[in-house]
Amino acid sequence: ETKKVAAPTKIVQLKAGQELRFENGFADSETVTLKLKAGHAEVFGSELATDPSYTFSGRKVAVYTWHGCSLELGGTPTVDYVADETPMQSYLNVHLALEQLRVAAEEKGEDGPKVMLVGPADVGKTSLAKILLNYAVKQGRKPIFVDIDPNEGSISLPGTLAATAIGRPIDMEEELSASSATTGTSPLTYYYGYPSPLDKPKLFGALVGRLASIVDRKMSESDVKTSGFIMNTPSQFVDVAGYDILTHAIDSFHVNAILVIGHERLYSELTRRYPPADSGISIVKLAKSGGVVTRDKIYRRRLQMHKIKEYFYGTPKGELSPYSSLVPFSDVAVRRVGEGTLAPSSALPLGSAPLLQETRLVKVDPGDILHHSILAVSHAALPDPGSAAAQLTPEEESNVVLATNVAGFVYVSDVDEDKKKMTVLAPNPGRLPRRYMLMAAMKWMET
């Protein structure tokens, strides 16, 4: 144990409608603590309890109060100030409107609202998603959180598209930690492997379609049906280049409410493409909060690395010890995502080549190329040698594996080309299952 110096604390009084905003770094010495002394307060819709001291690291946080409160802030944040102006009232109004739709859905036996959030980077999409989910939970609902922003991967790891039903308020310290060991649930996850949907738009579209059909099936379950879903989307959806995948996502998920944050042009484009009168889609324009912080490349990278580390090592609240094992090359079947080889273009109809390329998996010969890679472990089992399934063509194999969700992730910490073995870190003990493993652009360095 290192000796701890008592961190400075101060009392912050907030009046009704005010918000305390603070930021801090990732280092242990930069930890910030928060305690509610009196009144009510919430962090992105999750209410603070009066006793505990909440701990934050590497975060940008807003503590909002509807009726006023007294807070104790400990440690030295890099930034902290109180703001009077927030868009929280308009966010609450959206929640109330969604709640009316849920009540109506209950009466008619229909699905609850299918809500999509769109907007450029750093306007508060993810934060608003959390607020709306938490408010719904507070009303006894169990909405599905769908996150198709592979840059953040708020539900699982960066590079994924995922969905999970939210049955209790989102933990304000751990958020949706990717580690199922700490949250006790395992989200429905598909591996895309690239930060932007524009990196491999055809592959992205295929995975969106797949996730949509499973979420649709999930919506028929009684406990989530009338709650509907809240979907967070990548910032590239606001670019003209992203319109096609945006409309594909709206159509596949049968979205019926779109919240556009901080982007006039997209709002007008969407109302043109989906005239509310005949599309059945309500489109609402919302202001971004003045508190939202622009995150630079370095911070985003830090955040991604932090998420990956948490996946294997847990959080301060729930530490994990991952398992390291030596695996012979002959035991693994790694496929590369998104970079399938191009068929001779003369053999194909115009425009179909990229489709074939991106959604075709390529066999990877294990070796140094895997060093420092994060591999997604598919639920798709490897066929037994000699079985009919072992005779699949590469195209059939790609279709099966890409349509299957992933069970988890491993990290290749070392590769020994001479011994034809690699060292693999996994959150669970035991032999690696005989499953396909997917590799893409995601690398990690254990620090």
The angle, 0 to 180 degrees and rounded to 10, between the axes of the packed helices 201-218 and 243-252 is: 20
Among all residues, whose Cβ is closest to ligand ADP?
Answer: 291
The angle, 0 to 180 degrees and rounded to 10, between the axes of the packed helices 394-402 and 201-218 is: 50
Determine, following the binding rule CB under 5 A, whether residue 156 of this chain makes contact with Mg ion: no
Query: What distance in Å separates the CA atoms of residue 322 and residue 77, rounded to the nearest whole number?
Result: 31
Site for ligand ADP, residues 54 to 83, rule: CB under 6 A? 60, 62
What's the angle, vertex CA 400, arms to CA 394 and CA 405, rounded to 5? 135
Query: What distance in Å separates the CA atoms of residue 188 and residue 406, rounded to the nearest whole number?
Result: 8
Determine, following the binding rule CB under 5 A, whether residue 126 of this chain makes contact with Mg ion: yes
Among all residues, whose Cβ is closest to Mg ion?
Answer: 126
Least distance to ligand ADP, CB of residue 167, Å: 22
Determine, following the binding rule CB under 6 A, whether residue 314 of this chain makes contact with ligand ADP: no
Determine, following the binding rule CB under 5 A, whether residue 179 of this chain makes contact with Mg ion: no
Per-residue binder mask for ligand ADP (CB under 6 A), 281-310, x = binder: --------x-xxx-x---------------
Single out the segment in contact with Mg ion by CB under 5 A; choices: 117-125, 164-172, 279-287, 439-447. Answer: 117-125
Query: What distance in Å separates the CA atoms of residue 207 and residue 223, rounded to the nearest whole number?
Result: 25
Query: What distance in Å separates the CA atoms of residue 153 and residue 159, rounded to the nearest whole number?
Result: 6
Site for Mg ion, residues 259 to 288, rule: CB under 5 A? none
Determine, following the binding rule CB under 6 A, whether residue 43 of this chain makes contact with ligand ADP: no
Size of the site for ligand ADP (CB under 6 A): 16
Determine, following the binding rule CB under 6 A, whether residue 124 of this chain makes contact with ligand ADP: yes
Residue 127 near which of ligand ADP, Mg ion, none (CB within 5-8 Å, type-dependent): ligand ADP
Residue 422 near which of ligand ADP, Mg ion, none (CB within 5-8 Å, type-dependent): none
Residues 6+ apart with CB under 8 A from 159: 150, 153, 191, 192, 193, 194, 195, 374, 376, 440, 441, 442
Single out the segment in contact with Mg ion by CB under 5 A; choices: 110-118, 121-129, 218-226, 298-306. Answer: 121-129
CB 228 within 8 A of CB 105: yes
Determine, following the binding rule CB under 5 A, whether residue 189 of this chain makes contact with Mg ion: no
Residues making contact with ligand ADP (CB under 6 A):
21, 60, 62, 119, 121-127, 289, 291-293, 295
Which residues of this protein are in contact with Mg ion, per CB under 5 A? Answer: 125-126
